[in-house]
Amino acid sequence: MTAPSTYGLSSEARNLHWLLTNLVEEVPGIQSVAVVSSDGLLLLSSDPGQSEQSRLRRPAKGPRGSSADLATIVSGIGSLTVGAAKLMDFGQVKHTMVAMEEGSLFVMSISDGSLLGVHGSAACDMSVVAYHMALFVGRAGHVLTPELRSELRQSLESQSTGSAR
């Protein structure tokens, strides 16, 4: 994983970047991570602004290798499970796991509808991934304010326009 530039970001934004980097580096088998706002926008990613050139150098296995694709999937699953929980009247969704033949997808609520999505390899230990995701959510949930979400979104947009040049 290439660490994104955190120059010019607030200490809260730099801390979230550090937490995300730590999650990916500490937990074996994590392929990619995305933090998605309640309206489906990508806020933070393990591969922000990944350009076509970097995809050719390091072909990623998973949702097209793109954090935007992972964010779309996480947002869709989050929306589906929230709808199911309302229909079943069982309260709020805490987390969702989708186990596939060659990998897993984990989605966990952060706060105010924001979601943490993790794409893991088939070899990852699901309980370890879930534990570290819960740690991330516990540390990130209280700082993910509307102002910080806006800052993270603007940071991702500036990185993607910079990599497109």
User: What pLDDT, on the 0 to 100 scale, is given for residue 118?
Assistant: 94
Report if residue 98 sits inside a domain. Answer: yes
Q: Which domain holds residue 25?
A: 11-164
What is the average pLDDT across 37-61? Answer: 62
In a domain, 6, yes or no: no
Place 146 in a pLDDT band, splitting at 50, 70 and 90: confident
Helix spans in the chain (H) = 11-26, 52-57, 67-88, 126-140, 146-164
CATH of the domain at 45: 3.30.450.30
More confident residue, 4 or 120: 120
Mean pLDDT within 87-97:
92
Backbone φ and ψ for 105, nearest 5 degrees, come out as: -125, 130
Q: Indicate whether 160 belongs to any domain.
A: yes
Residue 143 clears pLDDT 90, i.e. is over it: no
How far is it, in rounded angstroms, from Cα 117 to Cα 109? 9
Mean pLDDT of 57-67: 52
Tally the C-alpha atoms within 13 A of residue 34's C-alpha that lie toward its C-beta.
Answer: 30
- pLDDT (mean) for 36-53: 73
Question: Alpha-carbon Rg of the chain, whole angstroms?
Answer: 15
Q: Is the pLDDT of residue 47 over 60?
A: yes
The pLDDT of 147-161, averaged and rounded, is: 81
Residue 66: pLDDT over 50: yes
What is the average pLDDT across 67-94? 91
What single letter denotes the amino acid at residue 152?
L
Answer for the pair 32, 47: CB distance below 8 angstroms, yes or no.
yes
Q: How far is CA 144 from the centre of its chain?
A: 13
What's the confidence (pLDDT) of residue 61?
52
Return all residues near 144 (Cβ < 8 A) that are at least 6 apart: 16, 110, 111, 112, 114
How many domains in the chain? 1
